[in-house]
Amino acid sequence: MIYEFTIENFRSFGEAQTLSLIKGKERKKTENLIPALPGFPQTVRVAAIFGHNASGKSNFLMAGEVFVNIIRHSAAVIFPGNLIPGIVPHRLSESWEAKPTRFEIVLPSSSERVFRYTFSALPQRIAEEKLIEELPSDRQRPIFTRQTDAANRTTVEFHHKTDFEPIACDQIRKFTRETSLVLSSGANINVPVLRDIYELITARSLFLHFSPLQTDQSTHLARLINEDVPLTQQLQAFLRDADIGIENIRIPQAPPPSDEQVAAIEEQLRPTHGDNARQIARQFVEANTRRPVRSLHKSAQGRDVEFDWGEESFGTQLFAVLFCIFARAAQKGLTVIVDELGANIHPLLLQRLITWFQNPKHNHAAQLIFSTHYSQLLAPRLLRKDQIWFTEKTPAGETRLFCLADFRGKNAPRSTEAFERNYLSGAYGAIADFGPYLAGVPYDSSGATSDDADTSAEETSKP
Q: How far apart are CA 413 and CA 419, in angstroms?
A: 8
CA 358 to chain centre: 16
Helices (H) and strands (E) in the chain, counts: 13, 18
Euclidean distance between CA atoms 102 and 5, whole angstroms: 11
Q: What is the DSSP string of 92-122?
A: S-HHHHTSPEEEEEEEE-TTS-EEEEEEEEE
**How many Cβ atoms are within 10 Å of 421's Cβ, its own excluded?**
14
Which distant-in-sequence residues (6+ apart) come within 8 Å of 234 by Cβ? 323, 327
pLDDT (tens, 9 = 90+) of the chain, 463 residues, equals 999 999 999 999 999 999 999 999 999 999 999 999 999 999 999 999 999 999 999 999 999 999 999 999 998 888 888 899 999 999 999 999 999 999 999 999 988 999 999 999 999 999 999 999 999 988 999 999 999 887 888 899 999 889 999 999 999 999 999 999 999 999 999 999 999 999 999 999 999 887 654 556 787 888 888 778 899 999 999 999 999 999 999 888 777 778 888 888 888 888 888 888 888 888 877 776 767 899 999 999 999 999 999 899 989 999 999 999 999 999 999 999 999 998 889 999 999 999 999 999 999 999 999 999 999 999 999 999 999 999 999 999 999 999 999 998 766 888 888 999 999 999 999 988 778 878 777 765 544 444 444 444 444 556 7
Cα-based distances in Å from 168 to 74, 172, 192, 221: 18, 6, 10, 43
Sign of CA dihedral 92, 55, 400, 20: negative
Residue type, position 74, single letter: S
The pairs formed by 143-148 with CB atoms below 8 angstroms and a separation of 24 or more are 143/115, 143/193, 144/182, 146/176, 146/182, 148/178
Distance CA 104, CA 128 (A): 11
pLDDT at 5: 98
Sheet holding 101-108: strands in order across?
17-20, 4-8, 101-108, 114-122, 125-134, 140-148, 154-158
Q: In 102-242, where does DSSP find H-type helix?
A: 166-175, 182-188, 192-203, 217-225, 229-241
Cα(325)–Cα(336) distance, integer angstroms = 8
Q: Which of 277, 242, 249, 244 is nearest to 262 (CA)?
A: 277
Read off the pTM: 0.89
